[in-house]
């Protein structure tokens, strides 16, 4: 028998919870009556010639109260939180360590209209790229749970601006950049810290654009764009 994937299990759990919540509301008059009244108020407020914000607010309140009072919804939220904490505790030990080595680009490769990047998105687990040589491409990856390290120490960056975009859900992000490259950091996060070289900033639901050095003579610039829901971002030279 074929083993179900995590995505399928989560989908079935959400479907069963939704069906259970629907039956619970249908056979519990304390939940069903406020839901019906709320839907009626929304319908009349929408179709009335005179728009009534009072009916709209009361209707939304009754519907939200009916749904949020469902035991199945509370059970679903509890299981989702426990599952998320379990996955996070497992992936805290896993680090996506990406070491990027590059060579000078082949002029013939410019005729290609599309190609598959060697650094790929990853939701769980670790990704390592070591002892491999690639032509440089701007990095644009998404990470789910766990820490991520991008090592550009062995990278042969082309002249001009190179871009690194990293989106992470929960986990720390560390970027190791060459000492001779100028850096621009654009970070957005909900909770965590941003440390660029020797300066550290607390992040709470904010966005920050940081120019740690203004080396106008630098031939190469790395533009780093990071989006992290919960976690720290560190940029340091090697």
pLDDT score, position 135 = 60
pLDDT score, position 187 = 94
pLDDT digits (tens, 9 = 90+) for 53-75: 788 888 889 988 888 888 888 88
pLDDT digits (tens, 9 = 90+) for 191-222: 889 999 989 998 888 899 988 765 667 788 99
Residues of the chain with pLDDT under 70: 1-8, 49-52, 87-135, 213-216
DSSP-based three-state secondary structure for 139: strand
pLDDT score, position 94 = 54
pLDDT score, position 171 = 81
Q: How far is CA 177 from the centre of its chain?
A: 23
CA distance 69 to 51: 29
Picking from 165, 156, 108, the residue whose alpha carbon sits closest to that of residue 135 is: 156
pLDDT score, position 225 = 95
Alpha helices in the chain (DSSP H): 6-26, 29-47, 53-68, 71-91
pLDDT score, position 92 = 57
Give pTM, 2 decimals.
0.55
pLDDT score, position 50 = 66
Residue 107, classified by CB atoms within 10 Å of its CB into exposed (0-12), middle (13-18) or buried (19+), is exposed
pLDDT score, position 24 = 87
């Amino acid at each position: 028998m074929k083993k179900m994937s995590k995505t399928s299990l989560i989908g079935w759990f959400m479907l069963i919870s939704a069906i259970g919540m629907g039956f619970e509301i249908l056979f519990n008059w304390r939940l069903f009556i406020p839901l019906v009244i709320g839907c009626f108020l929304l319908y009349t407020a929408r179709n009335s010639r005179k728009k009534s914000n009072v009916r709209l607010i009361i209707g939304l309140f009754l519907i939200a109260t009916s749904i949020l009072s469902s035991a199945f919804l509370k059970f679903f939220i509890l299981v989702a939180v426990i599952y998320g904490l379990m996955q996070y505790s497992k992936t805290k030990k896993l680090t996506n360590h990406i070491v990027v080595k590059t060579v000078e680009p082949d002029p013939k490769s410019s005729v290609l209209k599309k190609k598959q990047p060697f650094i790929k998105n990853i939701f769980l687990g670790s990704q390592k790229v070591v002892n491999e040589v690639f032509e440089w491409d701007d990095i644009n990856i998404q990470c789910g749970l766990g820490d991520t390290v991008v090592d550009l120490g062995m990278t042969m960056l082309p002249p001009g601006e190179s871009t690194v975009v990293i989106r992470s859900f929960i986990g720390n992000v560390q970027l190791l950049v060459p000492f001779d490259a100028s850096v621009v950091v654009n970070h957005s996060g909900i909770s965590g810290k941003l440390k660029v070289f020797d300066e550290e900033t607390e992040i709470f639901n904010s966005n920050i654009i940081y120019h740690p050095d203004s080396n106008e003579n630098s031939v190469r610039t790395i533009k780093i764009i990071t989006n992290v829901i919960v976690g720290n971002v560190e940029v340091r030279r090697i």
